[in-house]
Amino acid sequence: MKLRCLGSGSSGNCYILETTTEALIIEAGVRFKDVKIALDFDVGKVVGVLVSHIHKDHSASAGDFEKIGIPVFKPYESDMERQVRRYGNFVVKSFPLVHDVPCFGFLVVHPEMGRLLYASDTEYIRYKFRGLNHIFVESNHDKNMLDESKPQYFHQITGHMEISTALDFLNANKSVELRNVILLHLSQEYSSESVFLKEASKVTGVNCFIANKGLEVVLNKAPF
């Protein structure tokens, strides 16, 4: 299983989980054209698209997938807190997050990669998960880097996860099965990639990455 990041942050979010035969898209916040190019125009292998919430940087191209008959999971359109879906060999469970609009995280299970947790655009995560192999978690800002003289700063961080909250989550959810940690949706002004990576590695002891555009990571259950 290969992960590719086409964007992470307020300018557009999109992650592709891809095997040789199928692909699952997490977030439709970049141009549809960019997804097609990334898939070498093999859009037929996309078994489903997961969208966490209505904000455009996550949902902008959802309609383009629907137009060509690809199922798009938008749990925020339902009253149900938790739902389960199957797309090809991927099983997806949604759970509610804490943002300024209804927003959902996803537990994604696939025989090749095991259990992956995805949570972005949330102040914190209420739940604990067992046996995760891969954790994708928002690490938006560092409270020590905030510049309170800027009028927009509070608006920018509201509903987004602070690094110490993300580290607490990693600490509470790590296990011997954990293989990879991907830090998502870093604020341009109030984060430090090198510090965040160092701290996440220290807490988990596994491979840690920042979800920059162009990132590719092999996600397998086995530790090699």
State the residues that interact with Zn ion by CB under 5 A. 55, 121
Instruction: Determine the residue with CB nearest Zn ion.
Output: 55
Q: How many CB atoms lie within 10 A of CB 164?
A: 13
Report the candidate in 97, 208, 187 with the shortest Cα–Cα distance to residue 141: 187
Smallest distance, Zn ion to C-beta of residue 178, A: 26
Smallest distance, Zn ion to C-beta of residue 56, A: 9
What does the alpha-carbon distance between residue 178 and residue 115 come to, in Å, rounded to a whole number? 9
What does the alpha-carbon distance between residue 200 and residue 182 come to, in Å, rounded to a whole number? 9
What does the alpha-carbon distance between residue 128 and residue 51 come to, in Å, rounded to a whole number? 21
Return the number of the residue (87 or 106) whose C-beta is nearest Zn ion. Answer: 106
Return the number of the residue (18 or 57) whose C-beta is nearest Zn ion. Answer: 57
Return the number of the residue (157 or 203) whose C-beta is nearest Zn ion. Answer: 157
Smallest distance, Zn ion to C-beta of residue 53, A: 6
Return the number of the residue (61 or 133) whose C-beta is nearest Zn ion. Answer: 61
Query: Which neighbouring-strand residues pair with 182?
Result: 136, 209
Return the number of the residue (5 or 206) whose C-beta is nearest Zn ion. Answer: 5
Smallest distance, Zn ion to C-beta of residue 121, A: 4
Return the number of the residue (18 or 121) whose C-beta is nearest Zn ion. Answer: 121
Smallest distance, Zn ion to C-beta of residue 163, A: 18
Smallest distance, Zn ion to C-beta of residue 166, A: 16
What does the alpha-carbon distance between residue 100 and residue 36 come to, in Å, rounded to a whole number? 31
Q: Quote the tokens at residue 141.
A: 């800002």
What does the alpha-carbon distance between residue 161 and residue 139 come to, in Å, rounded to a whole number? 6
Phi-psi category of 84—alpha, beta or left, where left has phi over 0 and alpha has psi -120 to 50? beta
Cite the DSSP H helix spans in the chain: 32-38, 56-59, 62-67, 153-157, 163-173, 193-204
Q: What is the DSSP letter of 123?
A: S
Report whether 55 contacts 121 (CB < 8 A): yes
